[in-house]
Structure 1
Amino acid sequence: MFRTRIFVAGVVVASAVVLATAVPAAAHDELLQSSPAVGEVMTAAPEVVLLSFADEVLAMGAAVIVVDQSGHDWVAAEPVLDEATVTAELEPGMPDAGYELRWRVVSSDGHPISGVIPFTIGDGEPLTRTPAPAAAGSADTTNSTDPQSQGTQENQGAFRGLLIGMAGAGIAVAVLFLVSFLRRRKAATPRPGGTDITDV
């Protein structure tokens, strides 16, 4: 019974560690949908762009731009935040071409997230560019719009949580063996004043 209680306690501790490490990985508010969507080919130029997040985002630090191949920003006004939704009005007369909707907001936990959404209007060629190399040691705060990239980040977080959980389970097993060893040793130690069977 004692060993069972020790094992159950170890499993509980390991599970708590896994949950504690998994929750922060998914804590930041993610982009749920956008208009235009990633890679969308629109028949006509939109009047506004819209971003919907999993939770309310902060007005501080919010930025939305829509650029073409030349780098011209077609956003006509400051972005408007309404709880978990961000909208930005666009200039009229956007020609058929490829564009990038680049956004940055601060999630409800105070962590900045950002992303890039490519889209095309009419028969325009999709916008292509070479990403700038990341600075060494810089923190990655991008909330990628690529599902494969998001899946990779989630898998890494789950794998890290699994490793920590296995470590917790290993510690629990070690504690179990240590307690069992000490109990056997205590049981084998003769009590003071006891009678030695060889003296009878």
Structure 2
Amino acid sequence: MRQMAFALLVLAATSTSVLAHSKPEQTTPANETTVATVKAIEMRFDDPMRVTAITLAGPDGEISIERETGMDAVTEFRALPPADLPNGAYRVDWRGLSSDGHPMQGTFGFTVAE
């Protein structure tokens, strides 16, 4: 009986990790920080994520960014904003598919101030 209880405990512990979805571990710029310049927008995920949409919005509306990592599932996503972002508050919204096929989304923000 003890072996069966232990086996069920191990099964329960491993099944929750299998059900876990990819999530961002780090963003650049970091969420809610103030930076002088932004050379790249980066997200690091704990599992591969296929980022299907990403937008950057600033004080004057949406800003075009260039995807550097394409549409493949990656653990490190990178996009390039225009050369100089003017001072102000910015928000990055993203959507993607985690490695287990579940849709995911997130937002982070930062401020540019020289």
TM-score, normalised relative to structure 1: 0.49
User: Structure 1 residue 79: deviation in Å?
Assistant: 5.2
1:120 matched to which residue of 2? 111
Whole-angstrom CA distance in 2 between matches of 1:89 and 1:77: 5
Specify whether residues 79 and 102 from structure 1 end up closer, same or farther in structure 2 by C-alpha distance, changes over 3 A only: farther
- Does the CA-based 8 Å contact 1:47-1:90 persist in structure 2? yes
- The answer to whether the aligner puts 1:19 opposite 2:10 as a matched pair is no
Where does residue 49 of structure 2 map in the other structure? 57
Query: For the Cα contact (< 8 Å) 1:63–1:79, is it kept in 2?
Result: no
Distance 1:102 1:79, change over 3 A: farther
Contact 1:38–1:119 at 8 Å: present in 2 too? Answer: yes
The Cα shift of 1:51 comes to: 1.0
Give the C-alpha shift of residue 49 in structure 1: 0.6
Give 4+ residue runs of structure 1 displaced > 6 Å after superposition: none
Equivalence for 2:36: 43
Give the Cα–Cα distance (whole angstroms) in 1 for the partners of residues 108 and 50 of structure 2: 20
Code of the residue aligned with 1:97 in structure 2: it is G
User: Given the alignment of the two structures, is residue 96 of structure 1 paired with residue 96 of structure 2, yes or no?
Assistant: no
Unaligned runs of 5+ in 1: 1-5, 124-200
Identity %: 21
Mark the runs of 5 or more structure 2 residues left unpaired by the alignment: none
Cα deviation digits, residues 86-114 of structure 1 (max 9, x gap): 11111234211011111122111111211
Structure number with greater Rg is: 1
Shift of 1:38: 0.7
Q: Which amino acid aligns with 1:11?
A: A
- 57, 60, 65: which one aligns with 1:67: 57
Between the aligned partners of 1:95 and 1:113, the Cα distance in structure 2 is 30
1:31-180 alignment runs, 5 A limit: 31-44=24-37, 46-58=38-50, 62-70=52-60, 72-78=61-67, 80-81=69-70, 83-122=74-113
More strand by share: 2
RMSD after superposition: 2.3
